Structures are given as structure tokens and as C-alpha cells.
Amino acid sequence: MKVNASSLGSYAFCPRSVYLSDYLGIAPSNEAELAEGLIGHGIRKELFLRQRSLLGKVGDAAELEVLLRSELVDISCKAASVYSKRFPGIDLKLFVSAACSEVSEDITALMERLQYMLSDMDLDKALRNITPVEVDYYVSSDTLGLTGLIDLVYGGKNSYPVELKTCTPSDTIWEGDKLQVCAYSMLLEESLGLKTIPHGFVEYTRIRERRPVVNMEKLREKVLGVRDCVLDILGGTTPDICPHGSGRKCSSCGLTDKCYEI
């Protein structure tokens, strides 16, 4: 059995949420919040995918911006229908509109960065530096007992993973996000035959900030330790009520009611 790397973050947040959702198949009650997050995440990734196909068609940064905004309009028109089956009974239009507004600001920031880079390099090289080499890159390892779907992979010989998060971040990086990015780095090392990937990034899209995760040995060991705990849960072990004692974490969890019933 292999553990999905994304569940490592869930375990760090709340072991019971892994048990309730993955093992018992109980859906969270906050479906609207889940829909909002998935739509924002999906729109951003779809634009990244389309960005790659546009690169050979542009002659300057201004032309790329026009094409990206045109693609965003097309994505927004289709987004509600794409997610309607997943979230029946929820009006998704407001979520789509809010996500597209945020992504439009992302495009503005991207163009500012591109224009800055053009002062030091030509257009082709600048575009390569802002474009991931892989999007939704699937990785799996029998050795590590992990699988994952990496949002973005940048680099080449110096590859590193980037995980997109649409939540509001803390002042640092959520512990679960660190575990997920480190796990992706470990999987990517094996997949690409790299000796080591020293760091990855979490990109908090709401504040358009990319924060580094240093893959120290202690963090790598914690990834494997949490993996073993998740395997215990999926094997039938019922975890205790969350030991973190954080009312903030429990109040934001869509499985709180079920947690205390079981």
C-alpha cells in the first residue's frame, strides 16, 4: 500500500481527518469552502497548462498578457459547469468570479516580473524561467511507499516542486505544507534520478507569495514517520482525538461533528 503525499499534510493537521475521510469515506460538512478552494486551484493550474502552449506564439510580453487574459475568460466560462457535478446544489458562479479576479491580479504580477527579467535576458530565456516544465506531474515510489501529483515542477537538471495553496497562510508555512513539499521532493529525486533536491516551494496564491521549504534530514525523517502513521490508520487503527489542543484547527475542520461521535 502507498500513501498519497497530500494526506501527510492532512495527518499533520488532524490524524482523525485522515481516518474519517480516507478510511471511513465520510465527506466534510464545509462543502462550500471545499468548492471555493478547488475552483481557485483548478483555474490557476489550467492557466499554467495553457501558458505553456502559448509560449511559441508570442513575440513580446504584452502579447503574452493579452493571450493569457483571453484564456482566463475562456476558463472562467467553463469552470462552473466543470465543477457542477462535484458540488450539486451550490451556486459556483461567485467562487469562479472571485478566483478569476485573483488570477487576473496574478497575471499582472507575472507580467511585472517578466518585464523585470527582460532587462537581463532575452524573451525566450525569460519565458522559460517563469514556466514550469511539468504541471500535474504524477510520481510514485515503491521504495518510499508514497505517491503524489505535483502541481508544478520547475528546473530541469535543478528541478524542484511547487505546491499551490489557495488558503490564507500563517506567518510562516503550515507544517502539513512542509511535509507535502518535502515528500514531493523525495519522490521527484527518485523519479528524475537526482541525488538530492535541496528545497521546494509552497506558493500561497492569495497573497502571491512563494515560500521555500528546505528539505533537511529531520524533515525527511518526519515525512517517513507520518507515512507510517497514515498506513496504520488505513490498516484499521483508530487514532486518538487530535492531541494538538488547537481550537482554531478544530473550528476550521469540516469533520469536527463526526470526530467526536466515533
60: confidence class by pLDDT, cuts 50, 70, 90 = confident
pLDDT over 70 at 243, yes or no: no
Residue 245: its pLDDT value, please? 53
The rounded mean pLDDT for the chain is: 85
Is 192 found in the same domain as 210?
A: yes
Is 66 found in the same domain as 12?
A: no
pLDDT over 90 at 183, yes or no: yes
pLDDT over 80 at 23, yes or no: no
Rg from Cα positions in the chain: 19
Q: What is the DSSP letter of 206?
A: T
Strand pairing report for 160-165 and 146-154: antiparallel
**116/95: higher pLDDT:** 95
> CATH number for the domain including 162?
3.90.320.10
The overall pTM is greater than 0.85: no
Is 176 found in the same domain as 88?
A: no
Q: How many domains does the chain have?
A: 2
pLDDT tens for 64-94 read: 899 999 999 999 999 988 888 888 888 899 9
DSSP lists the bridge partners of residue 172 as: none
CA 137/CA 152 separation, integer angstroms: 7
pLDDT tens for 122-151 read: 888 888 778 888 888 999 999 999 999 999
Strand pairing report for 199-204 and 209-214: antiparallel
Residue 142: its pLDDT value, please? 94
Question: Which residues, 6 or more positions from 246, have their beta carbon under 8 angstroms from its beta carbon?
Answer: none
Is 171 found in the same domain as 218?
A: yes
Is 228 found in the same domain as 120?
A: no
CA 218/CA 182 separation, integer angstroms: 11
Domain span at residue 173 reads: 3-24+133-237+244-259
Task: Among 130, 145, 177, identify where a domain stops.
Answer: 130
Is 248 found in the same domain as 154?
A: yes
Is 109 found in the same domain as 58?
A: yes
Residue 209: its pLDDT value, please? 84
Query: Is the CB of residue 152 less than 8 Å from the CB of residue 164?
Result: yes
Is 17 found in the same domain as 35?
A: no
